[in-house]
Amino acid sequence: MLEDAASIDKYTAEVTLTVNEESSAAYVAGWLESKCGGDLAFSDEEPLVTSEVKDFVETVSRGSLTIPHVSTFELVRLGLCFVKKARHRACCRKRLGSILPTAANFNSIDINCSKVYTHLSNVLLHGIQNLEKDHQKNAVLLQTSVKKARLAD
């Protein structure tokens, strides 16, 4: 657990997210809250996200997403930063599912719902795998294009 906390601090401190990643994190946070709404309890003082990410969620929602609370959004951002930088530490859903609650506690995020961590682990790992597949496909397409260009010369 101590090793995970040190790893979380090391990897998340060095990572910045793009605007698209921030928007994606807000979308996932809203989806998590709508999916696990009955299991989550927020105080009345817990703020909702604001600014561009709120606008993004409102724009893409077809009525099923909720505007997420800041703590859920921060948890998703934290998980995304960690997975983005330290993929080798989060190689499976079970491992990531144990790291995320540690990350939440380490960063004073008070979410005690195992469903949230399970769903978030699945989303993060699935997203990373799809991104890697896209990069591999693009690399193959580029290599094929280069080969075709050489043959045409």
pLDDT digits (tens, 9 = 90+) for 122-152: 888 877 555 455 545 655 566 666 666 666 6
Residue 152 belongs to some domain of the structure:
no
Domain that residue 22 falls in: 2-125
Strand, coil or helix: 48: strand
Residue 140 belongs to some domain of the structure:
no
Residue 147 belongs to some domain of the structure:
no
Residue 143 belongs to some domain of the structure:
no
pLDDT at 89 over 60: no
The whole-model pTM stands at 0.73
User: What is the count of structural domains for the chain?
Assistant: 1
Task: Give, in order, the Cα–Cα distances in Å from 64 to each of 1, 26, 61, 89.
Answer: 36, 14, 6, 33
pLDDT at 56: 84
Rg (the chain; Cα; Å): 18
Residue 148 belongs to some domain of the structure:
no
Residue 131 belongs to some domain of the structure:
no
Residue 149 belongs to some domain of the structure:
no
Residue that is written with structure tokens 């960063």 in the block: 107
Residue that is written with structure tokens 């530490």 in the block: 89
Strand, coil or helix: 135: helix
